[in-house]
Amino acid sequence: MKSNYKKIGEHIRLVDERNKGLQGKQLLGLSISKQFIPSVANIIGTDMENYKIIRRNQFACSTMQVRRDKKMPVALLQEVDEAIISQAYPIFKVKNEKELLPEYLMMWFTRAEFDREACFHAVGGVRGSLEWEDFENLQLPIPHPDKQKEIVKEYNTIVNRIALNNQLIKKLEETAQAIYREWFVEGIDLENLPEGWRKDKIKNICQKIGSGSTPTGGKESYFDSGISLIRSTNVFDYNFSFEDLAFINDEQANKLKNVEVVENDILFNITGVSVARCCMVPKNVLPARVNQHVMIIRPHKDSNVSFYLLLNLCSTDSKNALLGISQSGSTREAITKSEIEKFEIIIPKSDLLEKFEILMQKLFLEKDLKSFENQKLSELKDLLLSKLATNEN
């Protein structure tokens, strides 16, 4: 053990303050992504005095199912002065904040390496729980407090920049949606369309509609780099997530040549909990293929309907209509290729579509630049977290 590595248990202590007199009002839950979230638990008839009070700069964690989830949920309360949380969660605090900053400790808990170590020590059968004693015996480097402050400041600078970019991205998305509704939805009589407008099936305005497949070997055949394999976990409405992006080699990619993704393709999730989410493929993910859960929707070249179709498919009306006609028969919602091909939408006149396409290109370019910046900032954040293990006094 390096000289500045210390056991976690030497610097924390458990806190068990109950909600006597029902003084706590805000009920929080704990997510696997290491964040506090509003609780969705049914508390009707529950004795809320048994719930625990958690205060600012205190931690809540779960040591259950660590091996199964491959993560130990733990979060630091900083958003509010106090809240209440289920008695199932251990609450702990740093003994001496002049020696160990809570923010620095939370950074350590955020590391992927910490989760791997916690998973290694988890026991208890299939679900794999982590004993509290084993948690306390886990070690971390504790540099001088001034160094900790420097590290936390650098980390928060990155996190705050990502948050600001996310706000700008959301604003750009809202602007795009507002323009779409103003130009093509509000005041439009579906039975008496304006001159030059028409109804048509998606298959008639697209040159390709099709989903992919998973390479032989499944997840075990993925690589750390290579050709991108886009899965439903990467596709969100208007946004592409690079987190957990899979890669395949050239041989696997050649077998999926017929589902190669190109610029301006629309990616549409057709199964699972994320069904009907869609986005436009970002340039920096190419070259790429899709698996069987993602549909490629490729409008005819120079048709000027790419962004219009994206905004249309992302609208609540289209989602509800598509999910309503699903005939998959599965307990999980699904949309078939045939249903997408036959789905009928309104096609505005060509000159209006062209103006809309030019405007959306500028707007989405700005959004994509912010998303790309966040991708690089996230990589920098992960690098900073991984380097915590090498920090010396």
Q: Please say if the pLDDT value at position 155 is more than 90.
A: yes
Q: How far apart are CA 319 and CA 222, in angstroms?
A: 32
The DSSP bridge partners found for residue 139 are: 7
pLDDT value, residue 330: 43
> Which one has a higher pLDDT value, 67 or 101?
101
Mean pLDDT over 59-63 rounds to 95
**CA-based radius of gyration for the chain:** 25
Residues 6+ apart with CB under 8 A from 388: 107, 108, 111, 140, 141, 151
Which two three-digit tokens encode residue 131? Answer: 């004993």
Per the listing, tokens 């075990």 go with: 220
For the chain, first and last CA: distance in Å? 15
User: Band of the pLDDT at 53, cuts 50, 70, 90?
Assistant: very high
Q: What is the pLDDT of residues 344-375, one digit of tens each?
A: 999 999 999 999 999 999 999 999 999 999 99
Q: How far apart are CA 108 and CA 342, in angstroms?
A: 51
Mean pLDDT over 244-250 rounds to 91
User: Band of the pLDDT at 391, cuts 50, 70, 90?
Assistant: low
Query: In terms of residues, how long is the chain?
Result: 393
User: Band of the pLDDT at 110, cuts 50, 70, 90?
Assistant: very high
pLDDT value, residue 331: 42
Tell me, what amino acid is at 89?
Y
User: Band of the pLDDT at 393, cuts 50, 70, 90?
Assistant: very low
Residues 6+ apart with CB under 8 A from 133: 9
Q: What is the pLDDT of residues 166-185, one digit of tens each?
A: 999 999 999 999 999 999 99
What percentage of the chain carries pLDDT values higher than 90?
A: 72
> Which one has a higher pLDDT value, 40 or 235?
235
- Classified by CATH at the fold level, domain 170-349 comes out as Adenine-n6-DNA-methyltransferase TaqI; Chain A, domain 2 (3.90.220)
Which of 265, 269, 285 has its CA nearest to residue 225?
A: 285
Q: Please say if the pLDDT value at position 236 is more than 70.
A: yes
Q: Please say if the pLDDT value at position 262 is more than 90.
A: yes
Which two three-digit tokens encode residue 259? Answer: 């589902």
Cis preceding-peptide flag for 287 (omega within 30 of 0):
yes
User: Band of the pLDDT at 47, cuts 50, 70, 90?
Assistant: confident
Q: What is the pLDDT of residues 13-22, one digit of tens each?
A: 999 999 887 7
Of the candidate CATH numbers 3.30.2020.30, 3.90.220.20, 3.40.50.1000, 3.30.450.40, the domain formed by 5-140 belongs to: 3.90.220.20
Mean pLDDT over 227-231 rounds to 94
46: left (phi over 0), alpha (psi -120 to 50) or beta: beta
Q: How far apart are CA 161 and CA 55, in angstroms?
A: 27
User: Band of the pLDDT at 305, cuts 50, 70, 90?
Assistant: very high
Predicted structure pTM score: 0.83
User: Band of the pLDDT at 215, cuts 50, 70, 90?
Assistant: confident
Q: Please say if the pLDDT value at position 251 is more than 70.
A: yes
Contact by Cβ (8 Å): 112, 70: no
The DSSP bridge partners found for residue 59 are: 76, 92
Q: How far apart are CA 112 and CA 73, in angstroms?
A: 12
Which of 28, 32, 33, 38 has its CA nearest to residue 58?
A: 28
Q: Please say if the pLDDT value at position 63 is more than 70.
A: yes
Mean pLDDT over 258-284 rounds to 92
Burial of 215 (C-beta count, 10 Å sphere; 0-12/13-18/19+)? buried
Residue spans of the domains in the chain: they are: 5-140, 170-349
pLDDT value, residue 24: 64
Mean pLDDT over 320-342 rounds to 77
User: Band of the pLDDT at 327, cuts 50, 70, 90?
Assistant: low
Q: Please say if the pLDDT value at position 328 is more than 70.
A: no
Q: Mean pLDDT for the chain?
A: 90
Sign of CA dihedral 183, 188, 191, 192: negative
Same CATH topology for 5-140 and 170-349: the answer is: yes
pLDDT value, residue 214: 83
Which of 282, 271, 259 has its CA nearest to residue 232?
A: 271
